[in-house]
Structure 1
Amino acid sequence: MGIMGYLRERMGTILAFFIGFALLAFIVSEVVRSGGSFFRDDNNELAVVNGEKVPYDEFNKKLEQNTAQFKQAGQTISPQITSYIQETTWNQYLSQLLLKKEIEKVGLVVGGDESSSMVNGNTPDPQIARQFADPQTGQFDRNRLNQFLSYLQSGKADVTQKQAWKDFLGQLIEAKMASKYMALVTSGLYVNSLDTKDDYEAKNKLVNFKYATLDYSSIPDAKVTLTDDDYNTYYNAHKGEFKNPQDLRSFEYVSFNAAPSKEDSVALKADADKLAEKFKASDNDSLFVQINSETKTPIAFQKKGALEPKLDSLMFNAAKGFTYGPYVSNGSYKIAKLTDIKTTFDSVKTRHILINPAAEGGIDKAIAKADSLKKLIQGGKSFADLAATFSVDKGSGSKGGDIPAFDVNGAMGGGQGQITPEYTNAAYKANKGDLVVVTSQFGVHLIQIEDQKGSVKVVKVAIVDKPISASSKTQTVAYSKAQAFLGNLTKNNFDAEIKKEGLKKSVAQDFTGVAAGLPGLDNAREVVRWAYKAEKGDITDKVFTVGDQYIVTRLSEIKPKGILALDLVKKQIEPAVRNDVKAKQLSEKFQAALNGSSTIDQVAQKAGSKVVPVQNIVFANPVIPGASIEYKVIGSVFGSQPNKLSKPVNGQTGVYVYVVDGFTNPPALSNNVREKQQISQVLLQRSEGQILDALKDNANVKDNRAKLL
């Protein structure tokens, strides 16, 4: 009774303990399963490289900078471009991190005198020279540099400008140390006389030979049975070829199409027809576009060739007010209206001073600063000097604010990039010599119009677009089918259910953890994240929406980083293994034909082949005319004696037997020094990339990008 009384009294405490313990166990199990930590915040850990953490926010700053550069160049940021920028930024970051460690190991430094010389020395760093070049001559202008350094020390420079200069110098020093490290490693490269002789002969020594071949295709695939020994033999002989540089995933999926139906398109066309009548009658086209168009594109003057081809010829031959459409373009119904026509300059030349609102304390203060600079220039101050001092666009600032000439569409000559619409419109509205202040996505610009050239007809076309999208009914039907299919799945019946429902299975193969788009799946980032959390054979617990498709997925393969196991490459190597088996049979056939034969013609006749003569082949270009690249065959040829029948050689497309007619040796090498220099130059060009590749291969990298990007 004592025990029962004790339990009654303490039951609340005991229950609370066990419930709390169960909850803690649940949380811990979830954390372990997801790879996180209960006691620390590792959501910011993008990767760990040789024990050093890579913070996500630090990497993301570089990623945003690179993305901004793409946008500034007028590049549309698609999922594929996003993936490319992420991978490029990662490789840059990883290379810098690994180089930094190597530099620390060997004790390389840039001393105070050296860093000072990079800025103030007789031959400043090339980047300093470029930043402070005379805009007229392109030559380094020391006065510009001294003016800028004096400004920084005068107390007039703000914290942002000082930090930007400090960061710039830090990058120069990092680059200097990296170049020292590369020089240290590449100084060990040496080309000797034997290297030059071998290279010269490989490019110039000629061989004439005759060959007979038995193609692998002469044996039907169906007559070849592959055994485990066949696969193992090939795999073990080529193991080094199956090194996987990074973790890869593959999944199978079934897609349920939610694209607009014929009925959807008809209904949308009827709505677009009504909208076209209203647009035609509108007397405020800009407001009409803003209210009714999916894409709120500013209405701006454009020259011929800038409009899509369907509109270009129409609008440049129509009268003001002409309305065209609805027509289909890029998945939308569009209606276009010619709102204005005029003749303007073919190109405008400007220079600018760019002010960062964030550094000035807001847009109003940035505009006020631009107005102050405008008054200084009107009072006689040098625009170029003020640009070098105050512009946050250091690329143009070091050139006096100079911007390449651009047309009415903002396109700079020679494909140098794109000017923002706000900047372009302001420049085309002003007169030559005017100073204007305008705000764009990059900040506040003080623009001076330097020149306006040529004459060109331009049109202003307002466009209303309505995407051809699926109705809710179409989407619901497709989603319901996908959900019903998912509901019937178990881990083992994926293929059976596909067959039962008469569906088609697709495969997304060998993608990385940072892939944004996959073949047939343009924006598949969510699915990729799932794939890198799932185990082989797992089926998704939800229907994914990818574009106008609903998909149900099953993780079919995981290829870890490193040498891949045979079962992961078995399907990939099957054609090569089959050719190896065929090669044995064809080699035996040739070997039988060689017995008792003294000429290549006799061998070919016995084997049922024909003799093909080949002339003037060089070792450096191992191509058999009319056949293919045959490294092994050509290598054997150059190692053979003339007039001697070869043994069978397994090539890329078949088995060969050959006889060398003779070699033609090139003239003696007359300029050994020049040949050495050429080979050395090639080695140096390759060396930097190969050094970085070697560092990456040897690095211990835990990569979390699949989870965080």
Structure 2
Amino acid sequence: MGIMSFLRERMGTILVAIIGLALFAFIAGEVITYGKSFMGGDRNTLGEVAGEKIAYDDYMKTVKQGTENFMQQSGQTSLTPQITEYVQENAWNQSISTVILNKEMDKVAVAVGADEIQSMISGPNPDPQIVQYFGDPKTGKLDMVRLNGFLRELQNAKPTDDRLIQWTAFMEPKIEQRRREKYFALVHNGLYVNSLEAKDSYEAKGKLAKFTYVQLPYSSIPDNKVTLTDDDYQTYYNEHKAMFKNQQELRNFEYVSFNASPSKEDTAMIKEQMVKLIPALRSSTNDSLFVQINSETKAPLVYQRKGQLEPQLDSVMFTAAPGFVYGPYVSNGSYKVAKLVDSRVGPDSVHARHILINPATAGGVDKAMAKADSIKKLIEGGRPFAEFAKNFSEDKQSGEKGGDLGTFARGAMVPAFEEVAFNGKPGDMKIVTSQFGVHLINVISQKGSSKVAKVAIVDKPLTASGKTSSAAYAKAQAFLGNVNKDNFAQEAKKAGLPVKQANDVNGVASALPGLDNARELVKWAFTKAEKGDLVDQVYALGDQYVIAHLTKIKPEGELALEDVKEQIKPQVLTQVKAKQLHSKLEGAVNGASSIQQVAQKAGAQAVPVENIVFANPVIPGLSIEYKVIGTVFGMQPKKISKPVDGANGVYVVSLDSFINPPALTNTVREKQQISQTLLQQADNRLFDALKDKANVKDYRAKFL
């Protein structure tokens, strides 16, 4: 009674204490887990290579650099999902190779010494970019006076000096590249081809075989006449296990999509809007402002030569009079209207130099322009342009060359810069502002002459109306409400929707069959879903609303038979047919004294061939047959082989004769040819072997 009374009186306090302890344990557990994750760097670990972590931040810097390089080289201002995936994959491979090769180079103590670095900068064969930056434009050779002067300045520079920082960033990858070259040179020096290998290679290319074959093609047995058993699959799987090693985790899912692309009514409405803009565009006196106000793409108006405009405009604008309006027309998913603002004859290329002032460091755009104006007046008074470019230009690359930008064609520079360079005249010195800062531009010379046109283009994307999108989304939502992981196919069939397959998708894929912007769906499949799961929301991917169902997870490593069963079905079918045809030919060979008798007993033809070489194992009229040709070159003349399972059927062959090539007289040349092939393959083979050994772990699916 005393205990019960005690509990009744203090039950509230006890419950509060118990709940408090439970909450504390839960929160403490979460804190400890989070702390471990955070302190271990897992929240910033994109992957691991040979036990070394790859940081997300470092990887993204590489992606950013790759993106900028691609956009600069291609002239594009945005990347498609496919190109983005390509850039990301390149960055990942670069990150992996850096870790792997650094570890290997450290093992064998590969280093680049001070004398080597000095030679790269000012030796007999300096780095080409050093020559470019510090070369004499007249001779094309390195200007040692300029280079040594620059290096002396760096010796006295503070660690925070921009020039020292930029020089270090410039030299580090070059030193690293030289280190890699030395490492691969060590590998290459270890490659050796002996005389026996040279002789074998020579004979493989020059020894001719004449033989006769009998073939029973696999196509002679219809697929529907073959019943595959579990043992058939298991046998093939056991014999080819090495082929079924998954380098990374893959997933299969099926999905249906609801089209939300613009309807005919949407397209007609957008076209009507563009038609209504034509009178205003035709009468506009400020076409640049009109484009900025009315166009989806706010492109500046610049002169362009023939071939730079899109095809529809290129064919009409160079023969039209200013004021001519073309359209509406459809291009790249938009309705467009174009007006010829002006046309003239202008230069094809320009040689110019510039000094770039940064408004941020100058105290604003006005002060930057005032500084540029002061420099301009000093230059006009006789001071050298190159001196100011070297000392004041934010563009250090051109600044070291006196501001010289070389000769460039239309489209190479930003519009404001191009306007001055191509529409001015040689000797002009102008100040303009661009997104990079304030430029003092000096036009040195202009070359060529062709007609150019300035065209104002107004565009409106062909997008679905709210009504169209809502209708498609409503259908997708209704389907999601009716479907589950067990009736996906049946519900899709009932709704008249084709079920699309996305097989062997990796964790960083950006596109799927029929879906260009599928990153979010792929991320769901890898970070939220388990086998059999159905999405818990409708995914809006471009102009499609998508419902997906995860059907299979293929883990990294050796795949189970059930994971590859459908994939290997054609090969298993061929193997079963081969057994049947093999038995038939064995019976034909038994007791036969000639290949013609084998053909007669098998109900086939004996086909003679000649001038076949081991190095090119192709049977004329068929295809490559490695096993068959290998059998021929291992036979004695006038013998009949056992049945050989080839790529196209089962064969029996009989060797007639060999014609040997002339004796090898130039072993050195043959060795050199083989060595060249080895060298071409060595680097990739070495890296693949090191990568396989490095136990690479890829966590990108969680981040990207």
Question: Normalized against structure 2, the TM-score is what?
Answer: 0.92
Supply the distance in 1 between the matched residues of 2:474 and 2:439 (Cα, whole angstroms).
Answer: 53
Cα offset, 1:340, TM superposition = 1.3
Which whole-Å CA distance do the structure 2 matches of 1:441 and 1:198 have between them? 64
Aligned pairs (5 A) from 1:77-226: 77-125=79-127, 128-129=130-131, 131-155=133-157, 159-226=161-228
Mapped to 2, the partners of 1:312 and 1:294 lie a distance apart of 21
Q: Secondary structure at the match of 1:503?
A: coil
| Of 636-645 and 381-390, the range deviating more from structure 2 | 381-390
> What is the CA–CA distance in structure 1 between the aligned matches of 2:15 and 2:524, rounded to whole Å?
43
- In 1, the alpha carbon distance for the partners of 2:43 and 2:444 equals 51
Query: Partner residue of 2:426?
Result: 432
Distance 1:594 1:617 in 2: 24
How many Å separate the matches in 2 of 1:660 and 1:255? 59
Going from structure 1 to structure 2, the CA distance change for 1:377 and 1:629 (only over 3 Å counts) comes to: farther
Cα drift, residue 16 of structure 1: 4.5
Q: 1:466 aligns with which of 428, 445, 460?
A: 460
Counterpart position of 1:415: none
Distance change (3 Å), C-alpha of 1:224 and 1:402: farther
Tell me how far apart the structure 2 counterparts of residues 687 and 84 of structure 1 sit (CA, whole Å): 24
Deviations 1:395-445 (A, max 9, x none): 65666554453333x1xxxxxxx4333332221132212334444445554
- Alpha-carbon offset, residue 192 of structure 1: 0.7
How many Å separate the matches in 1 of 2:669 and 2:447? 50
Question: Partners in 2 of 1:449 and 1:8 — Cα distance?
Answer: 88
Match of 1:500 in 2: 494
CA drift of 1:470 comes to: 1.0
Aligned to 1:251: 253
Q: Matches of 2:599 and 2:214 in 1, distance apart?
A: 6
**1:670 and 1:129 mapped to 2: Cα distance?**
46
Q: In structure 1, the residue corresponding to 2:456 is in which secondary structure?
A: strand
Matching residue within 545, 560, 568 for 2:540: 545
Contact 2:54/2:95 (8 A) holds in 1: no
How do 1:665-704 and structure 2 match up within 5 A? 665-704=660-699
Q: Name the residue aligned to 1:450.
A: 444
Task: Map 1:34-113 to 2 at 5 A.
Answer: 37=37, 42-73=42-73, 74-75=75-76, 76-113=78-115
How far off is 1:219 after superposition? 0.5
CA distance in 1, matches of 2:158, 2:364: 19
Determine whether 1:488 maps to 2:462: no
Report the residue type matching 1:487 in the other structure.
G
Q: Could you say if the C-alpha distance between residues 323 and 78 of structure 1 is closer, same or farther in structure 2, counting changes exceeding 3 Å?
A: same
The answer to whether 1:305 aligns with 2:307 is yes
Partner of 2:602: 607
Asked whether the equivalents of residues 204 and 613 of structure 2 are also in contact (C-alpha less than 8 Å), the reply is: yes
Once structures 1 and 2 are overlaid, which stretch shifts more, 256-265 or 122-131?
A: 122-131
CA distance in 1, matches of 2:104, 2:464: 56
**Whole-Å separation in 1 of the counterparts to 2:36 and 2:249:** 19
Structure 2 residue identity aligned to 1:431: K
Please report how far the alpha carbon of residue 460 of structure 1 lies from its aligned counterpart in structure 2 after TM superposition. 1.4
Distance 1:615 1:399 in 2: 66
Equivalent residue number for residue 413 of structure 1: none
Instruction: Give the secondary-structure state (helix, strand or coil) at the position aligned to 1:199.
Output: helix
Q: Distance in 1 between matches of 2:345 and 2:322?
A: 14
- Work out the CA distance in 1 between the residues paired with 2:444 and 2:337: 38
Where 2:343 maps in the other structure, the secondary structure is strand
State the AA in 1 paired with 2:494: K
User: Are the structure 2 counterparts of residues 280 and 122 from structure 1 closer, same or farther at C-alpha, using a change threshold of 3 Å?
Assistant: closer
The code of the aligned residue for 1:279 comes to L
Give structure 1 stretches of 5+ with no counterpart. 411-417
Q: Which shifted more, 490-499 or 118-127?
A: 118-127
Moved more, 357-366 or 206-215: 357-366
- Cα distance in 1 between the residues matched to 2:505 and 2:353: 46
Kept in 1: contact 2:352–2:407 (CA 8 A): yes
Residue pair 2:46, 2:699 contacting (<8 A) in 1 also? yes
| Cα deviation, residue 632, structure 1 | 1.5
Q: Is the 8 A contact 1:256 1:551 kept in 2?
A: yes
Task: Find the residue that maps to 1:43 and give its secondary structure.
Answer: helix
Q: CA 1:548 to 1:320, structure 2 compared with 1: closer, same or farther past 3 Å?
A: same
1:655 matched to 2:650 = yes
The correspondence for 1:589, drawn from 584, 591, 596, is: 584
Indicate yes or no: 2:464 matched with 1:479.
no
Shift of residue 155, structure 1, vs aligned partner = 4.4
Shift in Å at residue 294 of structure 1? 1.1
Aligned residues: 697
> How far has the Cα of 1:360 moved from its partner?
6.8
Root-mean-square deviation (CA), in Å?
A: 2.9
Q: 1:381 to 1:338 in 2, by over 3 A?
A: same
Moved more, 563-572 or 363-372: 363-372
Give the Cα–Cα distance (whole angstroms) in 2 for the partners of residues 321 and 606 of structure 1.
85
Q: 1:8 aligns with which of 1, 5, 12?
A: 12
Q: How does 1:368-379 map to 2 (within 5 A)?
A: 374=376, 378=380
Distance in 2 (CA, whole Å) between partners of 1:3 and 1:392 is 80
In 2: Cα distance, 1:341 partner to 1:314 partner: 12
Cα distance in 2 for partners of 1:59, 1:467 equals 34
Give the whole-Å Cα distance in 1 for the aligned partners of 2:396 and 2:658.
61
- Give the direction of change, closer, same or farther, for the CA distance of 1:43–1:156 in structure 2 (3 Å limit): closer
Deviation at 1:541, TM superposition (A): 0.9
Shift, 1:253, TM fit: 0.6
- Structure 1 range deviating more: 666-675 or 147-156: 147-156
Q: Per the alignment, in what secondary structure is the counterpart of residue 37 of structure 2?
A: coil
**Residues 496-535 of structure 1: pairs in structure 2 closer than 5 A:** 496-533=490-527, 534-535=529-530
Q: Equivalences for 1:376-391 in 2 at 5 Å? A: 378=380, 383=385
Return 105-114 or 647-656, whichever deviates more. 105-114
Mean Cα displacement is larger for which, 639-648 or 373-382? 373-382
Q: Does 1:289 align with 2:291?
A: yes
Distance 1:698 1:437, change over 3 A: farther
Contact kept, 8 Å, 1:646 with 1:657, in 2: the verdict is yes
Residue 327 of structure 1 aligns to a residue in which SS? Answer: strand
SS at match of 1:214: strand
Residues 487-534 of structure 1 deviation map (CA, whole Å, 9 limit, x = unaligned): 222232222222232221001222222222223111111111111112
Distance 1:279 1:499 in 2: 50
Say whether the 8 Å CA contact 2:209–2:612 is kept in structure 1: yes
Residues 33-86 of structure 1: per-residue CA shift (max 9 Å, x gap): xx9937776332222222222221122122211211112121351111111111
TM-fit CA distance, 1:478: 0.7
Shift of 1:21: 5.1
- In the alignment, the residues of structure 2 paired with residue 441 and residue 517 of structure 1 have an alpha-carbon distance, to the nearest angstrom, of 33
List per-residue Cα deviations over 1:90-123 (Å, max 9, x = no partner): 1112111111122222233334444344434455
Deviation larger for 591-600 or 573-582: 591-600
Q: Quote the residue 2:413 is aligned against.
A: 419
Do 2:52 and 2:99's aligned partners in 1 also have CA atoms closer than 8 Å?
no
Q: Which residue of 2 aligns with 1:640?
A: 635
Distance (Å, rounded) in 2 between the aligned partners of 1:611 and 1:364: 91
Moved more, 274-283 or 320-329: 274-283
Distance change >3 Å, CA 609–CA 427, structure 1 → 2 = same
Structure 1 residue 217: Cα displacement? 0.9
